[in-house]
């Protein structure tokens, strides 16, 4: 999903100044510019009130990654052909802890996308209240349609360079799009072999070799916990709500599971080829079919309709101005596929279709214009850096368990996760209130995330 540089004209001179700095340096990084713009819009009153941030040029420093590593990843396919991909790791900010953030393997991956994700991660990780800085990495390698052996050879080649730059106290990668338990296993095995150490260098590890219970579930569960917190401010619960979910990967699957558990009714899922609508509701048995289909068989969501006649499948039209999934009548939406999957037209459709609550499982799934349409219509909008922070929060719990050489129970991890999502929700509302953005979670998340990192940077001097 693309973004447009045309959206990057701001009416505020303050915002425009920062956009101009970043655009001047990286004019061809639209996703990064979009993520920066969204944050800078929120920070005007903060920089006005606290002159120390301006004097020490803290925001300018935060807009530039501390380091960017790019490398060649050669690997051999099963048929003997040789392929060359690009590998990246962006260390954006380490003021409050080692770089932490996922790896994305997808053909669309480039520096703009990874810088936007790493920049978002700085604020998200700060909001979790845990000691983790922000980073992101990945490759334009496409693991879909590749055999397990090909994925293993790719992961081994990728880690043969990446191992120099990561470490349990330096930079701790995890999964993201295209990187799940299988890829983390291959990456970890190669790191362990090269360095002769068994450490918590990656999170999302298998439960038998250092992984935290509930890490696979954490992002989706967290997005639903955040939605429940938002609903609660209006005296509501999620029970009985019809929910639109996009994607059908890790985040979408576990968002569905928690929705079902709480008595809500997910009715859609998607992948990059199309989407399904099941008005009868996706129940636990149907979800298990989806999990098997996507995780074991690596199949397509269209196959859902071959199994369940209550559902219809609509292929995605390339070049279409909107995604009809967001036009289905519902109460709540959980975009859980990718960036910019909800544009202004989609947002209008969501409002017209009755949606009153949007919790972003994906990173930056809603364009700035779409966000404004939703918020202006009174929709409760949980931004990704707050709503999907449960994944990285449980990653940090995995790091804590690894350091202690202990393993917590599912119940303990879940209790922490619920508390963290509750606290993030509260912190967003408090920060929004303190700076005049009453009940706007977007501004609250940006401000609260910024202040903790900015104060740490002031404490640590000009480094």
Q: What residues make contact with ligand NDP under the rule CB under 6 A? A: 1, 175-178, 180, 219, 247-252, 271-273, 336-338, 361-363, 388, 391
Of the candidates 97, 102, 220, 266, which one interacts with ligand 2IT according to CB under 6 A? 102
Which partner in ligand 2IT, ligand NDP, none is near 100 (CB below 5 to 8 A by kind)?
ligand 2IT
Residue 137 binds what, of ligand NDP, ligand 2IT, none (CB under 5 to 8 Å, by partner type)?
none
CB 139 within 8 A of CB 87: yes
**Residue number with CB closer to ligand 2IT (222 or 274):** 222
Residue 412 near residue 22, CB atoms below 8 Å: no
Work out the number of other CB atoms within 10 angstroms of the CB of residue 256: 29
**Residue position matching structure tokens 């409050």:** 96
Residue 37 interacts with which of ligand 2IT, ligand NDP, none, CB < 5 to 8 Å by class: none
Geometric angle at alpha carbon 292, from 291 and 293, rounded to 5°: 90
Given 100, 115, 124, 136, which residue is catalytic? Answer: 136
115 is catalytic: no
Residue 42 interacts with ligand 2IT (CB under 6 A)?
no
- Contacts of residue 92, defined as CB under 8 A and 6 or more positions apart, other chains included, come to 65, 66, 99, 115, 118, 119, 121, 122, 133, 134, 135, 136
- For ligand NDP, the closer of residues 23 and 203 by Cβ is 203
Asked if 391 is part of the footprint of ligand 2IT (rule: CB under 6 A), the reply reads: yes
Count of residues engaged in binding ligand 2IT, rule: CB under 6 A: 12
Q: Which residue is nearest to ligand NDP (CB)?
A: 249
Q: Binding partner of residue 65 among ligand 2IT, ligand NDP, none, CB under 5 to 8 Å per kind? A: none
203 binds, among ligand 2IT, ligand NDP, none (CB under 5 to 8 A by kind): ligand 2IT
Task: Give the closest residue to 394 by CA, choosing from 370, 379, 413.
Answer: 413
Among 109, 174, 245, 287, binds ligand 2IT (CB under 6 A): 174
Q: Which is nearer to ligand NDP, 54 or 292 (CB)?
A: 292
Given ligand 2IT, ligand NDP, none, residue 129, with its beta carbon under 5 to 8 Å by kind, binds: none
Helix, strand, coil shares of the chain, percent, nearest 5, are: 50, 15, 35
The Cα–Cα gap between 388 and 124 comes to 8
CA triple 327-329-335, angle to 5 deg: 60
Q: 203 or 367, CB closer to ligand 2IT?
A: 203
In angstroms, rounded to a whole number, what is the distance separating the alpha carbons of residues 190 and 399?
A: 19
* Under rule CB under 6 A, residue 31 binds ligand 2IT: no
Q: Which residues contact 72 (CB under 8 A, 6 or more apart)?
A: 84, 85, 86, 87, 161
Identify the H or E element spanning 347: helix 344-352
Site residues, ligand 2IT (CB under 6 A): 100-102, 121, 124, 174, 176, 203, 363, 391-392, 395
Give the residue numbers annotated as catalytic, written as ranges.
Answer: 136
């Amino acid at each position: 999903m693309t973004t447009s540089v045309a959206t990057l004209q701001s009416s505020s001179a303050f915002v425009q100044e920062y956009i101009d700095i970043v655009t001047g340096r990286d004019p061809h990084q639209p996703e990064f510019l979009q993520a920066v713009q969204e944050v800078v819009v929120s920070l005007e009153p903060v920089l006005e009130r606290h002159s120390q941030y301006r004097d020490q040029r803290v925001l300018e420093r935060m807009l530039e990654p501390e380091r960017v590593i790019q490398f060649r990843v050669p690997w051999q396919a099963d048929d003997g052909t040789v392929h060359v991909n690009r590998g990246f790791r962006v260390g954006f900010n380490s003021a409050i802890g080692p770089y932490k953030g996922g790896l994305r393997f997808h053909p669309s991956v480039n520096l703009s996308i990874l810088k936007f994700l790493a920049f978002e991660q700085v604020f998200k990780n700060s909001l979790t209240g845990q000691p983790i800085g922000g980073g992101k990495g990945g490759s334009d390698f496409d693991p879909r349609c590749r055999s397990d052996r090909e994925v293993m050879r790719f992961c081994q080649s990728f880690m043969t360079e990446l191992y120099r730059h990561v470490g349990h106290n330096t930079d701790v990668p995890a999964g993201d799009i295209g990187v799940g338990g299988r890829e983390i296993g291959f990456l970890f095995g190669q790191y362990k072999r090269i360095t002769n150490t068994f450490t918590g260098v990656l999170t999302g590890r298998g439960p038998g070799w250092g992984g935290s219970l509930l890490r696979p579930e954490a992002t989706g569960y967290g997005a639903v916990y955040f939605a429940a917190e938002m609903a609660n401010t209006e005296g509501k619960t999620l029970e009985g709500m019809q929910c639109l979910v996009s994607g059908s990967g890790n985040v979408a699957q576990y968002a569905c599971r928690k929705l079902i558990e709480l008595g809500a009714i997910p009715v859609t899922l998607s992948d990059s080829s199309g989407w399904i609508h099941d008005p009868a509701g996706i129940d636990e048995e149907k979800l298990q079919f989806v999990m098997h289909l996507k995780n074991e068989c690596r199949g397509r969501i269209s196959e859902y309709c071959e199994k369940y006649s209550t559902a219809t499948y609509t292929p995605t039209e390339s070049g279409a101005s909107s995604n009809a999934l967001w036009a289905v009548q519902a109460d709540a939406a959980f975009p859980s596929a990718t960036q910019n999957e909800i544009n202004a037209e989609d947002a209008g459709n969501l409002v017209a279709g009755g949606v009153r609550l949007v919790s972003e499982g994906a990173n930056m799934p809603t364009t700035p214009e779409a966000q404004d349409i939703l918020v202006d219509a009174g929709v409760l909008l949980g931004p990704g850096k707050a709503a999907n922070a449960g994944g990285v929060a449980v990653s940090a719990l995995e790091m804590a368990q690894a350091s202690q050489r202990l393993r917590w129970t599912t119940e303990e991890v879940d209790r922490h996760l619920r508390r963290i999502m509750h606290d993030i929700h509260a912190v967003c509302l408090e920060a929004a209130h303190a700076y005049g953005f009453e009940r706007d979670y977007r501004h609250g998340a940006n401000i609260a995330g910024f202040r903790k990192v900015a104060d740490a940077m002031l404490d640590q001097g000009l480094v």
